């Protein structure tokens, strides 16, 4: 983008002799930081000076949109939602980034994630950040489910049964039993190669139904009976569940 056009827009959007800040300028004109930084000027204040203005004094007062924009930009650079220490480090080299205490006073970690989700929904150009946020929300949801299920098991004292995954040779068996350890001993006797226990899911209710769920999920990989040819990804999916 031509320098003169950017300078003209700085002058046009100035109010009462004061130029807009970098973020407000981008919002009003559509001219992005990448259109000028490192091409015409190193800092926004340099552009303001060349346009004939005194640069705006830095202020620590940020509105929520600006704060969320900065967090999203840092998330894009890191490839993940930044932690408080990472925000603190960014602040040391980027004075336009809000102090982490400013962010902490406005939102808890979970509230910040929710605010970022809404910010990305209402602003274009943040699809990559939305994908990161979706991953976080999915993990949080699974964790909450696991916590609720664990509490239910504790309250009921004993699970209704167990759904297990064992390996013998190259195949994996998915079955259920009311007594996990007795069933494990029986399986050892049934296979010439013996078995290796991979994982066991405690069934809060309806162990046979949970077994059917996994049989249906892996039906394309069934070899015979309850034996399946599973991939590492399949095994990982099963092992994520401690309770169901």
Q: Is the CB of residue 19 less than 8 Å from the CB of residue 48?
A: yes
Exposure of 65 in the CB half-sphere (CA atoms within 13 A)? 7
Strand order in the sheet with 171-177: 196-203, 161-168, 171-177, 227-228, 222-224
Per-residue confidence (pLDDT) for residue 58, from 0 to 100: 44
What tokens were used for 109? Answer: 């970690």
What tokens were used for 33? Answer: 């930081």
Contacts of 239 (CB under 8 A, 6+ apart): 165, 198, 199
Per-residue confidence (pLDDT) for residue 176, from 0 to 100: 86
Per-residue confidence (pLDDT) for residue 221, from 0 to 100: 93
CA distances to 158, 198, 212 from 217, in Å: 26, 18, 8
Parts of the chain with a pLDDT under 70: 55-62, 137-160, 179-193, 243-244
118-135 confidence digits (pLDDT tens) = 999 888 888 899 888 887
CA distances to 86, 106, 120, 180 from 241, in Å: 31, 34, 31, 16
SS (H, E, C) 15-77: ECCECCCHHHHHHHHCCCHHHCECCCECCHHHHHHHCCCCCCCCCCCCCHHHHHHHHHHHHHH
Q: Which of 206, 59, 200, 80 is CA-nearest to residue 132?
A: 80
Q: Is the CB of residue 199 less than 8 Å from the CB of residue 193?
A: no
Q: How far apart are CA 81 and CA 132, in angstroms?
A: 7
Per-residue confidence (pLDDT) for residue 7, from 0 to 100: 93
Per-residue confidence (pLDDT) for residue 10, from 0 to 100: 93
Please state the pTM of the whole predicted model. Answer: 0.39
Task: Show the beta-strand stretches assigned E in 33-188.
Answer: 161-168, 171-177
């Amino acid at each position: 983008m031509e320098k003169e056009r950017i300078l003209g827009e700085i002058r046009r959007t100035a109010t009462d002799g004061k130029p807009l800040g970098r973020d407000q300028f981008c919002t009003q004109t559509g001219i992005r930081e990448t259109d000028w930084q490192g091409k015409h000027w190193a800092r926004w204040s340099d552009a303001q000076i060349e346009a004939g203005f005194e640069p705006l004094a830095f202020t620590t007062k940020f509105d929520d949109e600006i704060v969320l924009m900065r967090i999203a930009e840092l998330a894009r650079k890191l490839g993940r939602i930044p932690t408080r220490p990472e925000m603190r480090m960014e602040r040391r080299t980027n004075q336009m980034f809000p102090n982490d205490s400013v962010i902490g006073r406005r939102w808890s970690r979970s509230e910040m994630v929710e605010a970022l989700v809404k910010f990305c929904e209402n602003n274009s150009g943040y699809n990559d950040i939305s994908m990161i946020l979706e991953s976080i929300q999915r993990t949080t949801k699974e964790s909450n489910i696991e916590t609720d299920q664990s509490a239910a098991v504790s309250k009921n004292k004993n699970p209704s049964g167990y759904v297990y995954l064992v390996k013998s040779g190259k195949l994996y068996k998915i079955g259920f039993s009311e007594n996990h350890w007795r069933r494990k001993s029986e399986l050892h006797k049934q296979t010439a190669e013996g078995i290796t226990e991979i994982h066991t899911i405690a069934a809060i209710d309806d162990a046979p139904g949970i077994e059917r769920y996994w049989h249906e999920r892996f039906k394309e990989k069934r070899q015979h009976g309850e034996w399946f040819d599973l991939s590492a990804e399949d095994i990982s999916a099963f092992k994520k569940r401690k309770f169901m």
